[in-house]
Structure 1
Amino acid sequence: MPQTRQADRHADRHVDDAARVVLPAPRTPDPREAPALGWGVIAPGGIAASFVEALRAHTEQRVVAVGSRDAARARAFADRFGIPGAYGTYADVLGDARVDIVYIASPHSGHFEQALRAIEAGKHVLVEKAFTRNAREAEQLVQAAREQGVFLMEAMWTRFLPHIDVVRQVLDLGLLGEVRTVTADHGQFMNPDAAHRLFAPELAGGALLDLGVYPVSFASMVLGPFASVTTVGDKAFTGVDGQVSIVVTGESGAHGVLNTTLYARTPTTASISGTRARLEIEGDFYAPATVRLISRERELLCSYVPAQREGGLCYEAAEAARCIAAGRLESDLMPLDETLRVMHVLDGIRRDLGVTFPGE
């Protein structure tokens, strides 16, 4: 990121004098202060349950409807969380006048069609990451939302968390000096089961879209648009990507070293190393996490420890509510053009690996 002389002096003062170093406090607004909206949930699975729990515990948002292709499943979810509307079709959720915004929590393969129907119904939309199967679908959604005049955002929850705002401020202040290297990984061990959604090509499975999107999005946030992307990886037994290692370069020449895998539980940490100092984000870096500022001499200068570690999905919902109340159709923290840029990178990585999904 470009630095002014003032930022350089600020960085020298704070990094060279360990006794005085204090990481900036997050500027993230209290999620409870966000204007309350009526939310409809599409696809009541595990991530939907975590989302609703976070809203109930940490916001004033109201979940008013849930839809599933299985009416009994929708009713069970509604009963569990005290949701007044339970529907056996997604169309019924979109037809509910109490619903201001729809949260799409289905597998990646369903995002495009479900989000498009919601946009066409005039609803605001929050779409789980990865946004769609590919950039072509993402571009169509963005165009539709802009034409319809509704809010649309990728639910890349990491971008809205307080510790990531600390990271942004550190970069803006130039405390690390010139950024040279970014690292991030996200790997989980998954039993090789063809019925599991992450191994299912028809559900747009694989490590990259579900897990690897976190390291790629993080590197994009830090480095900006990539000047180059180099990929090494292999396919799982079903033909989806099983493990991927990626080296990217930013326009400044900085490198990003990223990894994702379905074969092992990795540290899921991230770091940003500069000419003056480095930031280390503990695992899981994409969730509320401790951030440490380390000097060139490997001395711990200071740390940021999150006050809240549970319910982090509340921050993305609060951001959406604030934007909608202000009449904004996208978020400055996760702009639609940034989502499109990341989707194009993911497309290129899959091309390199020879991974395609049915119907692409």
Structure 2
Amino acid sequence: MNLVVVGTSWITDMFISAALETRLIRFLGTCSRSTDKAEAMNLKYGGEKTYLNIEEVCMDADVDIVYIASPNSLHYPQTKKALLAGKHVITEKPIVSNMREMDDLIETSKTSKGLLFEAITTLHMPGLEIIRQHLSMLGTISIISTEFNTFSNKLPEYRSKKDPNELSLKFSGSTLVDLGIYNVYFVMLLFGIPTNVHYFANKGFSGVDLSGALIMQYPDKIAVAVVAKDNHGDNRTLIQGENGYIKVAGYVNTLKSIEIVVDKERFEFYVPNYPNHMRHECEAMFSCIARNDRQTMFEWLDLSKSVTEILQTARKDAGIVFAADSKND
């Protein structure tokens, strides 16, 4: 299967590396507005073709899989074009800006020859199943707290009143959507869809959230997700129950260090992650494509839809509006 990537950022670099490690695909080329950047990526990983836009990618019969990692607001239109062209599409999180776009992509995927996936590591990390298997040890769980803090190198540019893509409402930039999506997936995969959602955001001059706290309420528990691009923090996750707790050290999108403390006994788990943690999702999605497993695809899209709805509700609660929210198809 031939893979083409759209975008040349660091996450695209990591994805190509992980994809090649699976030995399930062949890297064909790069699509970018910058020919120099596309050619540099091709040179690094052995790509042969350079494309200037998604239309050129869609017209190439040699392309089987398209990985889209452009600015957030471009995910939906580029994904839809590739699906309509019959390509398999892997779109970097967030797959869309809002529910209108999500519903349309799901409908489009029903008639497309290609399969559609949201690239999200949390869903495919081995540590998730380890945590799920040991939740019952905690007894009644009442509190989940999870943090994702990473200081943005675009913050100085933003504070000089410029509008970098990742912090631009025009491009569906948002700390909650970019980082908090991992926390939401983690909580939802373990505990289901919350009954209420509230987001308290620290906003910049443009109204974008630079950091914030997302509250997800359940009938018998509360989950709190702290996300930040404007400060440094101790990234960790705690699941607290009446008998003890589960602690995940580090980012919630890798789940590589898990500690369980129950009745004062401590258990530590080795998590068999690949060095490039994106390889787990690559193997899962490429295998799904090879099997033409549309049932699994739609199950994963249902998860993407639920997460998109939570994020949209949270943004609305905090008054964070993307330019894409007012667009028509």
Q: If the length of structure 1 is used for normalisation, what is the TM-score?
A: 0.83
Give the aligned partner of residue 196 of structure 2.
228
Q: Secondary structure at the match of 1:294?
A: strand
Q: Secondary structure at the match of 1:336?
A: helix
Structure 1 counterpart of 2:311, from 319, 341, 346: 346
Structure 1 counterpart of 2:293, from 328, 333, 337: 328
Indicate if the aligned counterparts of 2:172 and 2:324 stay in contact, CA closer than 8 A. Answer: no
Give 1:209 shift.
Answer: 1.0
Q: Could you tell which deviates more after superposition, 129-138 or 83-92? A: 83-92
Q: Distance in 2 between matches of 1:60 and 1:150?
A: 17
Q: Distance in 2 between matches of 1:64 and 1:200?
A: 31
Q: Distance in 2 between matches of 1:274 and 1:63?
A: 46
Can you list the C-alpha shifts for 1:244-267, whole angstroms capped at 9, x where unaligned?
2122123x5221011112211222
Indicate if the aligned counterparts of 1:67 and 1:88 stay in contact, CA closer than 8 A. Answer: yes
Give 1:228 shift.
Answer: 1.1
- Percentage identity across aligned positions? 26
Give 1:41 shift.
Answer: 0.7
Q: Distance in 1 between matches of 2:309 and 2:165?
A: 22
Q: Distance in 1 between matches of 2:48 and 2:113?
A: 28
Give the aligned partner of residue 100 of structure 1.
64
Determine whether 1:177 maps to 2:139: yes
Equivalences for residues 155-170 of structure 1 within 5 A: 155-170=119-134
Give 1:223 shift.
Answer: 1.4
Give 1:72 shift.
Answer: 2.7
Give the aligned partner of residue 225 of structure 2.
258
For residue 263 of structure 1, what is the amino acid of its counterpart? Answer: D
Give the aligned partner of residue 282 of structure 1.
249
Give the aligned partner of residue 30 of structure 1.
none
Q: Distance in 2 between matches of 1:214 and 1:49?
A: 20
Give the aligned partner of residue 10 of structure 1.
none
Give 1:195 shift.
Answer: 3.8
Q: Distance in 1 between matches of 2:252 and 2:238?
A: 9
Can you list the C-alpha shifts for 1:153-209, whole angstroms capped at 9, x where unaligned?
1111121111122223334xx233333221111122233423432222212112111
Question: Judging changes above 3 Å, is the alpha-carbon distance between structure 1 residues 331 and 281 closer, same or farther for their aligned structure 2 residues?
Answer: farther
Can you list the C-alpha shifts for 1:286-313, whole angstroms capped at 9, x where unaligned?
125111111143x31x222234452111
Give the aligned partner of residue 154 of structure 1.
118
Give the aligned partner of residue 119 of structure 1.
83
Indicate if the aligned counterparts of 1:288 and 1:312 stay in contact, CA closer than 8 A. Answer: no
Q: Distance in 1 between matches of 2:295 and 2:257?
A: 28
Can you list the C-alpha shifts for 1:81-135, whole angstroms capped at 9, x where unaligned?
1112222222222223332221111121110001000100001111111111112
Give the aligned partner of residue 238 of structure 2.
271
Q: Distance in 1 between matches of 2:255 and 2:21?
A: 16
Give the aligned partner of residue 246 of structure 1.
214
Give the aligned partner of residue 178 of structure 2.
210
Can you list the C-alpha shifts for 1:62-87, whole angstroms capped at 9, x where unaligned?
21122112233212211121112222
Indicate if the aligned counterparts of 2:288 and 2:297 stay in contact, CA closer than 8 A. Answer: no
Question: Judging changes above 3 Å, is the alpha-carbon distance between structure 1 residues 331 and 278 closer, same or farther for their aligned structure 2 residues?
Answer: farther
Instruction: Mark the runs of 5 or more structure 2 residues left unpaired by the alignment.
Output: none
For residue 292 of structure 1, what is the amino acid of its counterpart? Answer: E
Q: Distance in 1 between matches of 2:139 and 2:111?
A: 42
Q: Distance in 1 between matches of 2:134 and 2:297?
A: 18
Q: Distance in 2 between matches of 1:177 and 1:100?
A: 47
Question: Judging changes above 3 Å, is the alpha-carbon distance between structure 1 residues 331 and 179 closer, same or farther for their aligned structure 2 residues?
Answer: farther
Question: Judging changes above 3 Å, is the alpha-carbon distance between structure 1 residues 126 and 357 closer, same or farther for their aligned structure 2 residues?
Answer: same
Question: Judging changes above 3 Å, is the alpha-carbon distance between structure 1 residues 244 and 56 closer, same or farther for their aligned structure 2 residues?
Answer: same
Instruction: Mark the runs of 5 or more structure 1 residues left unpaired by the alignment.
Output: 1-36
Q: If the length of structure 2 is used for normalisation, what is the TM-score?
A: 0.90
User: How many positions carry a matched residue from both structures?
Assistant: 319
